[in-house]
Amino acid sequence: MTLRLNINIDHVATVRQARRAPEPSVVAAAMMCEQAGADGITIHLRADRRHIQDADLYALRQTVTTYLNVEMAATDEMMLIALDARPDAVTLVAESPNEVTTEGGLDVRANLEQLRVSISRLREGGATASIFIDPDAAQVGAAHEAGAQQVEFCTAAYADATLGANAMHADGQRRAAAELHRLREAATLAAQYGLKVAAGHGLTYRNVAAVAAIEEITEFNIGHNIVARALFVGLDGAVREMRERIIEAGRQH
């Protein structure tokens, strides 16, 4: 099965917003990612607009030729924007104003009725409805009940166990193995429900291969590590390197 890599370009906008300057352009970044072989572009339109702005979404909708995935909270404000901008996919995420980045998956079970309404609106508007969740059986079942077409598993716990000193210690290695097991189990269950399966959050060139080797996971949304790598090798090279890591691991299927 073909593995897809969507590049999250939020942190291109982060650099721009640091000076409220016109550059770097998220549209130019998206075009470069596509030319380098990216299968899609992902952005997170947050309530506080800390990086991506509304104008960015509309500009990208006019210029992205592959696949535009927009992460957002399931609020009335965001639903109206999504229905107007009409991205290819909308991934509903948990969001807190005080977090540095998304801290975990959305609790679908606790918000089932609200999410069912939001997902129905998105699907009627023509967008693929995805939910960002932890790799947990109850959340997978709830996502299915809510009418989602795809789940994206939060890989933050796995990524944390594989980074820095954690990767060198037995405890970190045990945690990484346990999180991979959780991801496999949740991905298998999601596929049984007929859901498409994606993964993302904290994935790097060093740790992505083990996740890409999970057969049911067919899409990856990766941003920070690619943008960080691009500072040294350029955006084109950074995208190509990550894509090669994922495709090579996928050949194990």
Per residue in 139-193, pLDDT tens? Answer: 999 999 999 999 999 999 999 999 876 666 677 789 999 999 999 999 999 999 9
Q: What is the mean pLDDT of the chain?
A: 94
The average pLDDT across 52-77 equals: 98
241 is catalytic: no
104 pLDDT tier (thresholds 50, 70, 90): confident
Annotated active-site residue 71? The verdict is yes
Does 44 qualify as catalytic in the annotation? yes
Three-state DSSP class for 179?
helix
Q: Indicate which residue of 11, 34, 51, 71 is catalytic.
A: 71
Domains, the chain, ordered by start? 4-250 (3.20.20.70)
Residues 6+ apart with CB under 8 A from 147: 116, 119, 120, 123, 129
Q: Among 11, 201, 216, 219, which one carries the catalytic annotation?
A: 201
Residue 244 CB contacts under 8 Å (≥ 6 apart), including other chains: none
Distance CA 117, CA 111 (A): 10
Catalytic residue among 11, 34, 44, 152, which?
44
Q: Global pTM?
A: 0.94
Q: What are phi and psi for residue 240, nearest 5 degrees?
A: -60, -40
